[in-house]
Amino acid sequence: MPGRTLKDKVVVIGGASRNLGSLIAREIASDGAKVVVHYNSPSSKDDAMKTAQAVKDAGGESVVHEADLTKTDEVEGLFEVAIGAFDKVDCMVNTAGMVIKKPMAEVTEDDYDKMFAVNSKAAFFMMREAAKRLEDGGKIVTVVTSLLAAYTGLYSVYAGSKSPVEHFTRALSKELFGRNISVNAVAPGPMDTGFFYPAETEDSIAFHKSSSMNGELTKIGDIAPCVKFLLTDGWWVNGQTLFVNGGYTTR
């Protein structure tokens, strides 16, 4: 059976300027993918441009677009840019997210609204737009968190705002039956990136490390191949949340 590749596939990546999103863009470029590199604000533009150039250097094609994914018209605009540049969209990967760590008693209304806007609302409307725009046979992958399977405090509004994405994933995967479009979520453990450290202390970092295989944090290099698998030969995986975390949590 021939392998499924990303050659000439158009992939929209939310949050592609740095960290996991950037690595996914660069890894799929070597297969000949056409990547829409999304970034959220002017402060991320330079990183987005570097990602786009790395995609081209690896043999793919790229276009860069700024959008606030918490605004539905800008989500729609991101997909319009993709179609305008490449005439179609085959896959959507959303890595954009935000973390706040504090006791629930200290979470403000503003904290709550920001977290659910970025982690839940943006994911929902990226998935909704993908459902409307993707070619048959497409793939949808969102990034959630392994904390969904943890019994812990301090991450209530973070894990809580990621939790709905599991339900979105199951519902949309069912709704797209008949179009051969798979919809999945990937749940990494705490990742060794700049996204993780600001919310943590030395003691909590040590605890997170001790909770997974080999006493290590999750590396983005361990997650990107799993996303690529779901976009290619893993097409038969559907409606699932994959915990890729070295045993940090299980379910």
- Hey, which residues are catalytic here? 158
Residues 6 or more apart whose CB falls under 8 angstroms from that of 136 comprise 179, 180, 181
CA distance 70 to 123: 9
**Which amino acid makes up residue 188?**
P
Tell me whether residue 142 is exposed, middle or buried, using C-beta atoms within 10 angstroms of its C-beta: 0 to 12, 13 to 18, 19 or more: buried
Residues 6 or more apart whose CB falls under 8 angstroms from that of 178 comprise none
Whether the Cβ atoms of residue 188 and residue 223 lie closer than 8 Å to each other: yes
**CA 124 to each of CA 25, 118, 121, 191, 251: distance values in angstroms, whole numbers, following the listed order:** 21, 10, 5, 23, 23
Which residue spans within the chain are E strands per DSSP? 10-14, 34-39, 61-66, 91-94, 139-143, 182-188, 241-244
Whether the Cβ atoms of residue 31 and residue 58 lie closer than 8 Å to each other: no
